[in-house]
Structure 1
Amino acid sequence: MTRRNVIKTGMLAAPAALLADTPPADRPTASAKPLKITQVEVLQLEKPLKERFWMANSPIGGYQPKASRLIVTIHTDGGITGHGEGSGGADLFRKGFADLVIGEDPFMVGKIWEKMFAATYGREPSTRGWPQTGVISAMAPIDAAIYDIMAKSAGLPVYKFLGGYRDTVPVYVTGGYYREGKGIPELIAEVRGYVDQGFNAIKLKVGGISGGFSVEDDYNRVKAVRDALGPKVKLMLDANQGWDVPTAIRASNRMYDLDIVWLEEPLHWYDDVEPLKQVKLNTRIPLASGEHELTRWGARRLMETGAIDVMQFDCNAHAGITECRKVADMAAMSYIRMAPHHEPVLHGHLLASIPNGYILESFANPDRDPFWFEIYDRKPRIEKSILYLDNTPGFGIEFNQKALDQYGTKVL
């Protein structure tokens, strides 16, 4: 036998020998029966808010303020159930959108995602009454529920199933809303309350020109907070698309000495990437944006043009984890950090699985976000501005059935 044959034979024999020593139960097998999606349930949660929490130009929850959430539950023939939460798309589920995933293998999530996304550029918007933005919204909770199923099937929390990077994620609290009768003393009492709860990072609302708040008014509000809390508490500002380019530049430079972590969405909704780039080139405060981008294509423009420093893509509202991971990968290539908009459970698992995960948004006021406080019997713990993830398979949540019954309306 030649040396070449000895090497060739040895290379072929070694894996076989290793496999022969492997107990049968531990050997990989191709005969395991794949899961199939058998049913999709959809619940719409709504609860009126006690008062209006104003952003720059509009209140939380719209004209008749309310908290709302969509919960999608996906069942499989293997008995594994997944839950996903979203912010819209209920009407599409009434019009048969869930039929797209019935019979599919949840582990073929890439195929399922493309199948759903194809409805945005096919005839469905016209023939089935599925508007493009509605499709993007409905995709998000389905995609999340599928990841919940896959992670539970693997016996892993979602963040580890995605390829875990850490098991804790920094958290900030959003507050400082404009409210009737709320002046600087009330604002100071509010933010001190957040610090007393253990938060070391707070996001405040600015940009309320249409409500009678000038740039100088906002500066005085933010300065009062900085003076009250001192230099150790991080402050972010969210203009909620309240300014034009000259005003945004003036405001950001006025606020610079207050040690601001980022300025979020400074420009009106109709301004494109280039105007935002103008602001970026004329301010020293980092800019954050991306919560209104529907897909990776819009997010890519924000990042490739250098218009932002922090990407806030919302996979709870738009296209799901599958899409958000692609956005996160592109962000990493541009040295941009991820700080998603809203929903700390889903985004907590996402940020814990990527190296450029920055910080999570949360709400500590039950009048502003009642569902965080009422609909879960089990959820990740937030303590001292840190979200802690454990080894519970899936997202690690359990719903409070009484709350779901109280606020929920069955859609599907």
Structure 2
Amino acid sequence: MNNLAPLRLGWTIYVHVPFCVAKCSYCDFYSHRADPAERLAYGEALRRHLAALPADPGGDGRPPASLFFGGGTPSLLPPSMLVGLVGTVAERFGMPAEVTVEANPGTVSPDDLATWVAGGIRRLSFGAQAFQGRLLHLLGRCHDQAAIGQAVAMAQQAGIEDINLDLIYGIPGQTLEDWRESLQAAVALAPTHLSLYNLKLEVGTPLERQAAAGHVALCPEEDEVAMYEWACAYLAAHGFDQYELSNFARPGYQCRHNLNYWRRGDYLGIGSGAASNWGHYRWTWCLDSRRYSQAWQQGEACALPSMLGGGSNDNVLRSSGGAERPAGVGPAQTVEMIDDFEALAPEVAAGEAIFLGLRRMVGVDLTAVAAEYQVVPSVLTRWQREAEKLRQQGWVTWDGRHLTLTPKAYLLSNEIMERFLP
């Protein structure tokens, strides 16, 4: 199969806005409540961070393929500020082909949407999660079923055609009929994209503590399997292509941000708690939005990790599989702004590329990955042997070069993909 898209889609930007109206019971992402003044200070810090990035991070004039505002709830930033951040990116690098904002139903208005559209925001991702009041309440969501439809309708009326809905299956107390009802209601709203996530009870979250105490009954595993399989068949029958294990899109509406992530592409994370991946390097900015804002306000922060080396005259991040060493700019205080930094060995980075790539329906070309990450021949040989074992067990299709999961492997994908990690 020689029609694989390139491993690299280009580089992308992810902006993290860690503010929420209330913390959901299942969420372990970095997010919290914030008053208007704190939101404004944080938004200004984001602007300064974006403006301080190297003008040509890839070293080849490429603009970012996508700009994604995630959270938290990015729609809690003032609309003019959100649009201003888009403008900063466009002025610095050129307008991304895709600009996405995550939003919760009930946090947007027609005026907000009009401002966003005028500022270049043309893709929204709504956290619907479920269409049953009792399940929304259990999840700690701040909206009801009606708000989902109202938000989608408002966005469509404002001229935003590309709309994703997030839905969760495997919720305690959720039945197969509930799940069918949610999928049918979601499709009836005419979104272009759906993301379906199996609920994971993260340690320390309120919902996990409820389950551990026996206050909620976990969804049986066989029900989760039935929910997923029914969703795949139902969405295929209604014009959605499954292009990744959890993601379904109408033709032409695959998410560029997601594709770059699953190809282990280069991306720069901006904001407190935002992760970056560039070649063999990855890092996460501090999990403290106030400290992040203060550092930028006082001129003590910088756009890239200084521990990568380089100085103010050497501030270009080289793209591709990580053969080049990126360079940082800024003062030593950047070290204090980084909560996590890793320089990965080629075999580790390549293993991650396979792990992520196998989530895509088109799979991965093992020979191409080996060349991209410059791994030693023995590593490729080990991958090929593992692929052949999995083929004989019926978990993958494998032609000596190109590897894809079979449908029976979808719900056991992590187990299988981990075999390609060092």
Structure ID, larger Rg:
1
The structure whose RCO (Cα within 8 Å, separation 6+) is larger is 1
Normalised to the residue count of structure 2, the TM-score between the two structures is 0.34
